[in-house]
């Protein structure tokens, strides 16, 4: 398994990325996992001594160019083919790495995913999913959390399918329950999108739909997968992040449940529904976040999640054709 990591991505790169690699290698003894570090060799050189005990378990690939956090994504990818993000996607497409991740320019990561890796056949819109802590110490999955602000009911149904596969095969939730984020529990509640989506989720085969979930249900065990359009999902995710920042960082409160709101515990968010695994990290990631990002990447590759998604959506694409032929 080859895991590609952009070590130039993020506000504290490459120092924190390399420290995160060291943390991962100190804990993981799986000789089948090889890390491919993609970044500017000169910038990385002062920090590479961190990895001296782990020679043979990583490779450093020189990417002399860097895409800045505020550069225009499409323009930067075209004009900087030797950047760590551009080269990372190139290696992913050629099969030189099995997964690619970065805490760098989010727009560039999204553009690379959509127009380079591309959506799996049958997937209308790829989605970003984020773990959300709950009171029993486990995590629910909220999607979409930002790249699909305007959605149709069919999109939310596919988010439910993608989230169910991720929750089951990566997070280890057997028969994960799916809920639609709404302003009430009763069927028929909500705006036109929610009202139109509910019956489609109810009829959808292969998911365990349990009805609506209100905002107060997100942190409970009502459902392992909570579906919404990216506008509401992003607002909720940013609110959760600010809750941690205010209470834990600024106020100094200590509580195990509150600590689970620290994004560094889960590292990064996967883009679901594309032809190869891609993980996006937070721009302010430190070593712990990079370590956990690598762990998530390892789980995704080991679970063969991309192939499972392809198989499910291939069946959906083939079914109408077969029916027409009959």
Least confident of 6-10, 72-76, 293-297, 312-316: 312-316
* Average pLDDT score over the chain: 92
With 0-12 / 13-18 / 19 or more C-beta atoms within 10 angstroms meaning exposed / middle / buried, residue 205 is: exposed
Is residue 301 within 8 Å of residue 143, measured between CB atoms? no
Answer whether residue 176 shows pLDDT above 50: yes
Q: Is residue 321 pLDDT above 80, yes or no?
A: no
What band does 166 get if pLDDT is binned at 50, 70 and 90?
very high
Asked whether the beta carbons of 283 and 11 are under 8 A apart, the reply is yes
pLDDT for the residue 135: 87
From CA 135, how far away is CA 76, in angstroms rounded? 42
Question: What is the predicted pLDDT for the residue at 272?
Answer: 96
**Mean predicted confidence (pLDDT) in 169-193:** 93
Identical fold for domains 1-123+273-326 and 124-263, yes or no, is yes
Q: How confident is the model at residue 322 (pLDDT cuts 50, 70, 90)?
A: very low
How confident is the model over 212-257, as pLDDT tens digits? 999 999 999 999 999 999 999 999 988 888 888 899 889 989 888 8
Q: Enter the tokens of residue 40.
A: 């500017």
Task: Label residue 129 left, alpha or beta by phi (over 0 means left) and psi (-120 to 50 means alpha).
Answer: beta
> Considering the entire predicted model, what is its pTM?
0.90
300, pLDDT greater than 70: yes
Mean pLDDT of 84-108: 95
Output b/e per residue, 25-61; b: 16+ Cβ within 10 A: beebeeeebebbbbbbeebbeebbebbeeeeebbebb
Tell me what pLDDT residue 108 has: 93
What does the pLDDT look like over 186-216, one tens digit per residue? 888 999 999 999 999 999 988 999 999 999 9
* Contact criterion met (CB below 8 Å) for 119 and 148: no
pLDDT score, position 319: 65
Q: What was the pLDDT predicted at 259?
A: 87
CATH number belonging to domain 1-123+273-326: 3.40.718.10
Bridge partners (DSSP) of residue 181 are 213
Q: What is the dihedral of CA 59, 62, 63, 65, to 10 degrees?
A: 150
Q: Model confidence at 320, in pLDDT bands (50, 70, 90)?
A: low
- In angstroms, the CA 59 to CA 39 distance is 11
Residue 23: the pLDDT is 96
Cα-Cα-Cα-Cα torsion 183, 185, 190, 192, nearest 10 degrees, comes to 150
- Surface-to-core class of residue 277, CB atoms within 10 Å of its CB (0-12 exposed, 13-18 middle, 19+ buried): buried
d(CA 310, CA 42): 40
Looking at the chain, the whole-number percentage of residues with pLDDT higher than 70 is 97
Closest CA to 293 of 48, 68, 35: 35
pLDDT, tens digit, 9 for 90 and up, residues 110-151: 999 999 999 999 999 999 999 999 888 889 999 999 889 999
Assess whether pLDDT exceeds 60 at residue 258: yes
Is the CATH number 3.40.50.2000 carried by domain 124-263?
no
Place of tokens 């009959």: 326
Q: Are 1 and 34 in contact (CB under 8 A)?
A: yes
Helical packing angle, 287-302 and 305-325, nearest 10°: 40
Q: What is the pLDDT of residue 22?
A: 96
Residues 6+ apart with CB under 8 A from 186: 212
The domain spans of the chain are 1-123+273-326, 124-263
Place of tokens 């160019």: 65
Q: Distance between the two ends of the chain, CA-based, in angstroms?
A: 43
Which H helix or E strand runs over 235? helix 230-244
């Amino acid at each position: 398994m080859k895991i590609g990591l952009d070590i130039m991505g993020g506000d504290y790169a490459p120092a924190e990325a390399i420290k995160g690699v060291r943390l991962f290698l100190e804990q993981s003894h799986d000789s089948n996992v090889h890390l491919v570090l993609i970044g500017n060799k000169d910038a990385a050189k002062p920090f590479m001594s961190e990895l001296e005990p782990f020679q043979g378990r990583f490779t450093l690939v020189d990417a002399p160019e860097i895409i800045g956090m505020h550069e225009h994504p499409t323009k930067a990818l075209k004009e900087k083919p030797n950047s760590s993000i551009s080269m990372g996607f190139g290696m992913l497409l050629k099969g030189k790495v099995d997964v690619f991740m970065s805490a760098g320019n989010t727009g560039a990561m999204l553009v690379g995913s959509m127009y380079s890796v591309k959506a799996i056949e049958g997937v209308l819109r790829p989605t970003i999913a984020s773990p959300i802590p709950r009171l029993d110490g486990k995590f629910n999955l909220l999607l979409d959390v930002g790249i699909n602000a305007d959605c149709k009911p069919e999109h939310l149904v596919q988010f439910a399918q993608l989230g169910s596969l991720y929750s089951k095969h990566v997070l280890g939730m057997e028969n994960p329950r799916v809920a639609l984020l709404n302003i009430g529990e009763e069927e028929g509640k909500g705006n036109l999108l929610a009202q139109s989506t509910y019956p489609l989720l109810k009829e959808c085969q292969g998911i365990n739909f349990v009805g609506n979930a209100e905002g107060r249900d997100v942190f409970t065990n009502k459902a392992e997968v909570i579906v919404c359009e990216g506008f509401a999902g992003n607002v909720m995710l940013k609110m959760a992040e600010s809750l941690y920042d205010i209470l834990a960082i600024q106020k100094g409160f200590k509580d195990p449940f509150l600590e689970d709101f620290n994004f560094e515990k889960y590292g990064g968010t996967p883009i679901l529904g594309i032809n190869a695994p891609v993980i996006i990290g937070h721009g302010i990631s430190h070593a712990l976040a990079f370590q956990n990002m690598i762990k998530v990447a390892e789980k995704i590759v080991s679970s063969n999640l991309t192939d499972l998604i392809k198989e499910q959506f291939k069946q959906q694409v083939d079914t109408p054709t077969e029916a027409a032929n009959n």
